[in-house]
Structure 1
């Protein structure tokens, strides 16, 4: 199970905003809390910055599927920190460990879509329930950080060797 890092996204804490959409960066430092400089409102306010929610991963293949279905989702819109290419959403499983650049992460659990996606300009309150239904089982995977390190766009995203 191997792929590559296609995009890295983060958004600093911004008063009155939830952390969507995230902005793309070429490289970032992964700390125990996630991408350095990133803010996730749900994680911070409801989950006490739980380490199992440090990163949100999303395959580009899922974003492309949404586009084909008529949803104009762009990279960063869904709150994802790392967009992969070459590993489909259903290939991820809890406890899988991946090496990315100088970091190692472990898949924790699937991310459920939330009402904050309504804040996207092409969704809104009217289409929100339909989009939430569309996103069930497709919002990506949360991961915890096992080894902090630097990552960059283009890095290999590969299943870690069993010890």
Structure 2
């Protein structure tokens, strides 16, 4: 099967809540700052709107692995904006450029797990440290938007540059 967008996820700025889990939508516009309708408090407040962190992506193989390890992770739970299907997460690396629907992204940095993940119903304070350890190097990638445009669930994904 060809690589594609499995799910698009956003969460608007909601006072008193963290930015996850993100909820699925069918399509959206992606600007140089990220997905329309999504708010990333960490990027905006702590990282001065760093464009290298405009979009977070992950692949379903990581979600499947986490489920097999007993963590009932669903697309959007880890805060990713775009959940990709039929791409090997282990093959993704900084500097790679992808065409995703009408947009182009360049993987910039790995997304490290944080204590906001404790808010997930199946994690909590008690299991939080174990979940953080489990997610090291597996939470997803931040990416810079090279070409803006619209994306929709099911759009094709292709590697442009390694």
TM-score, normalised relative to structure 2: 0.96
Tell me the equivalent position of 1:74. 74
Tell me the equivalent position of 1:54. 54
Tell me the equivalent position of 1:97. 97
State the alpha-carbon separation in 2 of the partners of residues 119 and 49 from structure 1: 24
**What count of residue pairs does the alignment treat as equivalent?**
161
Structure 1, unmatched stretches of 5+, are none
Tell me the equivalent position of 2:42. 42
Could you say what the CA RMSD is over the residues aligned between the two structures, in angstroms? 1.2
Query: Would the alpha carbon gap of residues 137 and 161 (structure 1) be closer, same or farther in structure 2, given more than 3 Å must change?
Result: closer
Deviations 1:126-149 (A, max 9, x none): 100000000001001110000101
Which SS does the other structure have where 1:44 is aligned? helix
Which SS does the other structure have where 2:17 is aligned? coil
State the alpha-carbon separation in 1 of the partners of residues 136 and 61 from structure 2: 16
Provide runs of 4+ in structure 1 moved above 4 Å: none
By how many angstroms is 1:48 displaced? 1.2
Structure 2, unmatched stretches of 5+, are none
By how many angstroms is 1:161 displaced? 5.9
State the alpha-carbon separation in 1 of the partners of residues 161 and 14 from structure 2: 39
Is residue 145 from structure 1 mapped to residue 145 from structure 2 by the alignment?
A: yes
Tell me the equivalent position of 1:64. 64
Deviations 1:34-79 (A, max 9, x none): 1111011211111111100001101011111101110011111100
State the alpha-carbon separation in 2 of the partners of residues 37 and 68 from structure 1: 32
Tell me the equivalent position of 1:10. 10
